[in-house]
Amino acid sequence: MDAPTHARLGRSSGLRGLAAPVMVRGDLDAIPEIQAAKEVVLVLQDVTLSANGQPVEPNLMQQMAGREGALIGASGSANPTISIQKDGWVRLRLVNASCSRFYRLQLEEHDLYQISSDGGSLPAPIELSELLLVPGQRVDVMIQGSRPPESYRLVNLPYSRGAMGMGGGMGMMGGMGGVIGSNSAPSTIATFVYAGQANPAVPLPPKLVPVQPLPLPSQTRSFVLGQSMGSGMMGGGMSFAINGRTFDPGRIDTQVRLGDAEEWEFINPMGMDHPMHIHTNPFQVVQSDGSLEAAWRDVVLVPGGGRVRVRTAFQDFTGKLVYHCHILDHEDLGMMGVLAIGA
């Protein structure tokens, strides 16, 4: 499998900046037009700092919502400058290493051409006017210097992650509910500045790397996302759950067989979004007509009040691992299960 920029992080390490990409090269990198492009990696993180420069720990309500920091950095810099040639290409490799923040990205007056998702290349470039990147996701996009040679901002547009509700329902917490993740104005992530001229200008190839669909599943499982009170990760306080149970490292929640393909349906009756992640096993999203999306992912957004089906094949690993919400505060508050893969 041909994988793009990859980053793994935990709550404390991600909050304090300890996340870095790992490059895995493959067939996508051998395509001449992509190989020739300038390559830029942006690891996106946010943090709130105290007056003496220390990360501020969130309170319980901020954890329940999923913290969003006051400062946004791109590979450790605030609004870095990225040079791009007139008529040339930049391969922008994006990693959302934030604990909770969703990035709705747009480059002023430029289209984005997505060429990869979390787990590998796409079969063809996808033209986008904006891109939503949820926690844990990695995406590669190609950008061409096709505009007048000036400077253009890569901006993060407002996005609402929903509202907090109780017990898996759509109701609001008494006095504590509210819309989360909705900033009032775009913020600048980076600035593209034209410098030089590419000669000659070349288009992207219409085809990239084929994605083979996974085989039919031997089993279908359902995972209902919710909240609970009175027990669990917070020692009697509020917590998050999958199928009514908060995370217990000593319990196996799901047992599968090596070599099997399965479909998992994530059901989210809550009022807030949850990006769900399965360790080690990339998956393909099942579309509304029953076909498989031609992309390898390992994080999928399950919107508030919605449901998403994914298909995965357990082919390479035996042992225990986890699946969880990639809003890391929600993971830490219980929205995680243990998966055991047996021979």
Query: Are 85 and 135 contained in the same domain?
Result: yes
Query: Are 271 and 149 contained in the same domain?
Result: no
Q: Which domain holds residue 276?
A: 219-342
Q: Is 96 contained in some domain?
A: yes
Whether the CB-CB separation of 298 and 306 falls below 8 Å is answered with: no
Q: Any idea what the CATH number is for the domain that residue 281 is in? A: 2.60.40.420
- Whole-number Å distance between alpha carbons of 115 and 207: 10
The residue from 164, 197, 230 where one domain ends is: 197
Nearest to 323 by CA among 268, 282, 272: 282
Give the confidence band of 27 by pLDDT, cuts at 50, 70, 90.
very high
Q: Is the pLDDT of residue 274 over 90?
A: yes
Q: How many domains does the chain have?
A: 2
Q: Is the pLDDT of residue 319 over 90?
A: yes
Q: Is the dihedral of CA 248, 314, 134, 7 positive or negative?
A: positive
Structure token pair of residue 314: 């357990």
Q: Is 206 contained in some domain?
A: no
Query: Are 167 and 81 contained in the same domain?
Result: yes
The CA-atom distances, in angstroms, between 299 and each of 3, 28, 103 are 14, 21, 14
Query: Are 139 and 224 contained in the same domain?
Result: no
Query: Are 62 and 136 contained in the same domain?
Result: yes
Q: Is the pLDDT of residue 177 over 70?
A: no
- Whole-number Å distance between alpha carbons of 247 and 232: 8
Please give the average per-residue pLDDT across 234-257, as a whole number. 89
Mean pLDDT of all residues in the chain?
89
H or E element, residue 329? helix 328-332
Read off the pLDDT of residues 150-159 as tens digits, 9 standing for 90 and up. 999 999 999 9
- Whole-number Å distance between alpha carbons of 335 and 239: 8
Query: Are 177 and 224 contained in the same domain?
Result: no
The residue from 197, 227, 258 where one domain ends is: 197
Give the confidence band of 331 by pLDDT, cuts at 50, 70, 90.
very high
Whether the CB-CB separation of 189 and 74 falls below 8 Å is answered with: yes
Query: Are 254 and 328 contained in the same domain?
Result: yes
Query: Are 159 and 262 contained in the same domain?
Result: no
Q: Is the pLDDT of residue 226 over 90?
A: yes
Please give the average per-residue pLDDT across 228-234, as a whole number. 56
* pLDDT recorded at residue 179: 72
Q: Is 67 contained in some domain?
A: yes
Give the confidence band of 16 by pLDDT, cuts at 50, 70, 90.
low
Give the confidence band of 323 by pLDDT, cuts at 50, 70, 90.
very high
* pLDDT recorded at residue 289: 96
Phi first, then psi, for residue 326 (nearest 5°) are -90, 5
Q: Is 332 contained in some domain?
A: yes
Q: Where are the alpha helices (DSSP H) in 75-195?
A: none
Query: Are 259 and 167 contained in the same domain?
Result: no
* pLDDT recorded at residue 201: 86
Nearest to 139 by CA among 9, 280, 307, 299: 299
- Whole-number Å distance between alpha carbons of 81 and 149: 14
Query: Are 151 and 225 contained in the same domain?
Result: no
Q: Is the pLDDT of residue 167 over 90?
A: no
Query: Are 271 and 308 contained in the same domain?
Result: yes
The residue from 163, 197, 231 where one domain ends is: 197
H or E element, residue 32? helix 32-35
Burial of 166-204, coded b for 16+ CB within 10 Å and e otherwise, reads: bebeeeebeeebeebbeeeeeeebbbbebeeebeeeeeb
State percent of the chain over pLDDT 90. Answer: 79
3-state secondary structure of 60: helix
Q: Is 205 contained in some domain?
A: no
Nearest to 180 by CA among 97, 61, 71: 61
Read off the pLDDT of residues 81-114 as tens digits, 9 standing for 90 and up. 999 999 999 999 999 999 999 999 999 999 999 9
* pLDDT recorded at residue 229: 67
* pLDDT recorded at residue 236: 53
- Whole-number Å distance between alpha carbons of 49 and 304: 30
Q: Is 202 contained in some domain?
A: no
Give the confidence band of 199 by pLDDT, cuts at 50, 70, 90.
confident
Give the confidence band of 170 by pLDDT, cuts at 50, 70, 90.
very low
Q: Is 2 contained in some domain?
A: no
Q: Is the pLDDT of residue 249 over 90?
A: yes
3-state secondary structure of 22: strand
Whether the CB-CB separation of 214 and 261 falls below 8 Å is answered with: yes
This prediction's pTM = 0.91
In sequence order, which residues have a C-beta less than 8 Å from that of residue 147 and are 6 or more positions away? 109, 110, 194
Look-up: residue for tokens 């061409």?
144
Whether the CB-CB separation of 28 and 208 falls below 8 Å is answered with: yes
Give the confidence band of 20 by pLDDT, cuts at 50, 70, 90.
confident
Query: Are 190 and 229 contained in the same domain?
Result: no
Q: Is 211 contained in some domain?
A: no
